[in-house]
Amino acid sequence: MTAPDLFSPITFGSIEAKNRIVLAPLTRNRAGAGNVPQAIAVTYYTQRASGGLLITEATQVSPEGQGYPDTPGIHSPEQIAGWKKVTDSVHAAGGKIVLQLWYTGRISHSVFRGGKTPVSASAIKPSGHVYLPGWTKADYETPRALETTEIPGIIAEYAAGAKNAKQAGFDGVEIHAANGYLIDQFLRDSANQRTDQYGGSIENRVRFLVEVTEAVAAAWGSGDGVGVRLSPHNPYNDMSDSDPVALFTHAAASLKRFGLAFVHVVEPIGTPNPIAPAIKAAIAAPLIVNGGYDLGTSQSAIAAGETDAVAFGKLYIANPDLAERLKAGGPYNEPNPKTFYGGGAAGYIDYPALAKA
């Protein structure tokens, strides 16, 4: 049997992918009125359909889940219809696409929440600032700790987001439990100082993630269309944990029973004492890694059995036909950071394909 490489097909649960090249979820802030995906989003994702799996930008499961300007949602009929145009086009181009389900928690502002204070695991204000509509800056607000009785309502919003994603034609969903957003705020002890069943011990801090995953898998119909994204080391959004190895291996083991499609770990290449291999072993699902990989390091990691697939971010922004370029060994367009967040077509859908470069 030929050893797998970046260009080999792979099955993520119920999703049959033609290669192991994954579009990382990349916030681009280009949704229209009502946080509805626009025609340029159809073009953007369709341009990248030669990858094995596309993971959409983070998409809020409710109006209160928003934390940035112009990010799409999956909670209104108009948003579902907008995303349906994306999935239809990606499928027509031979691609597979999953929606990332998101709730920002304390990484938000009352202006996005109808004047209501942001919520989190605990009332701990993160350092840094938030961008408001119009791209003005403001300090983060001190969030309100969610009442225990409120948590089932938010879990239900994740489940509704999964149902809406299925209606919109997605091949699956990814639960965003990384990068300092709400689920991560429950997981890591720098943000979770609760004393109820959702705080204190690792088992308790993992509980919210497990309950969200259970609800999303039930809403989807099974776990084989559901992935989870984790970021054990990532300090983004003022996050840390006193024992990430114990926390994230326990979290992965707790999710094993759902038969997930994949686990997606943000762990930059070269990270000392990487946790991703232990997560992969504990969850018994295909592993997608993300964090500075190129062709050579991707191939080496897959050949060594360290991962099953690799997600690309900035490289995929600038190279819509990344699969073809990787197979050819380049050349690659350079990404323009000035157009990463917000704007129109420039820096979004105007990067040339290899045949036109």
Tokens at residue 173, please? 């969903």
Residue 172 pairs in a beta bridge with 98
- State the Cα–Cα distance between residues 97 and 55, nearest whole angstrom: 6
Residue 314 lies in a domain: no
User: Is pLDDT above 70 for 1?
Assistant: no
Backbone angles phi, psi at 207, to 5 degrees: -55, -45
Residue 173 lies in domain? 10-308
CA dihedral over 83, 164, 98, 146, signed as positive or negative: positive
- State the Cα–Cα distance between residues 170 and 340, nearest whole angstrom: 24
Q: What region does 236 belong to: left with phi over 0, alpha with psi -120 to 50, or beta? A: beta
User: CB-based contacts of 355: which residues, under 8 Å, 6+ apart?
Assistant: 321
Give the mean model confidence (pLDDT) for residues 270-297. Answer: 95
Residue 140 lies in a domain: yes
Using DSSP's 3-state secondary structure scheme, residue 124 falls into coil
The reply to whether 131 belongs to the active site is: no
Residue 257 lies in a domain: yes
Q: Are 140 and 132 in contact (CB under 8 A)?
A: no
Backbone angles phi, psi at 13, to 5 degrees: 60, -115
User: CB-based contacts of 152: which residues, under 8 Å, 6+ apart?
Assistant: none
Residue 101 pairs in a beta bridge with 59, 175
Neighbour count for residue 150 (Cβ, 10 Å): 12
- State the Cα–Cα distance between residues 72 and 158, nearest whole angstrom: 15
- State the Cα–Cα distance between residues 191 and 62, nearest whole angstrom: 22
Residue 235 lies in a domain: yes
Report residue 356's pLDDT band, with 50, 70 and 90 as the boundaries.
low
Of the listed 103, 158, 181, 332, which one is catalytic?
A: 181
Residue 100 pairs in a beta bridge with 58, 174
User: Is pLDDT above 70 for 207?
Assistant: yes
- State the Cα–Cα distance between residues 285 and 313, nearest whole angstrom: 22
Q: Give residue 155's pLDDT.
A: 98
Compute the mean pLDDT over every residue in the chain, rounded to the nearest whole number. 97
Give the mean model confidence (pLDDT) for residues 240-253. Answer: 98
Amino acid at 28: R
**What is the number of domains present in the chain?**
1
> pTM for this one?
0.98
Q: Give residue 211's pLDDT.
A: 98
Residue 4 lies in a domain: no
pLDDT tens-digit readout, 132-143: 999 999 999 999
Report residue 154's pLDDT band, with 50, 70 and 90 as the boundaries.
very high
Residue 3 lies in a domain: no
- CATH number where 34 lies: 3.20.20.70
- State the Cα–Cα distance between residues 63 and 49, nearest whole angstrom: 29
> Cα-Cα-Cα-Cα dihedral of 233, 235, 239, 242, to 10°?
40
Q: Give residue 117's pLDDT.
A: 98
Using DSSP's 3-state secondary structure scheme, residue 101 falls into strand
Give the mean model confidence (pLDDT) for residues 293-314. Answer: 97
The beta strands (E) that lie in the chain are given as 10-12, 15-17, 21-23, 53-60, 97-102, 119-120, 129-131, 137-139, 144-145, 172-176, 226-230, 262-266, 287-290, 309-312
Share of the chain above pLDDT 70, in %: 99
Give the mean model confidence (pLDDT) for residues 26-46. Answer: 98
Q: Are 138 and 57 in contact (CB under 8 A)?
A: no
- State the Cα–Cα distance between residues 267 and 108, nearest whole angstrom: 24
Residue 317 lies in a domain: no
User: Is pLDDT above 90 for 307?
Assistant: yes
pLDDT tens-digit readout, 309-352: 999 999 999 999 999 999 999 999 999 999 999 999 999 999 99
Q: Give residue 355's pLDDT.
A: 76
- State the Cα–Cα distance between residues 345 and 228, nearest whole angstrom: 30
Backbone angles phi, psi at 105, to 5 degrees: 65, -130
Share of the chain above pLDDT 90, in %: 97
User: Is pLDDT above 60 for 357?
Assistant: no
Residue 167 lies in a domain: yes
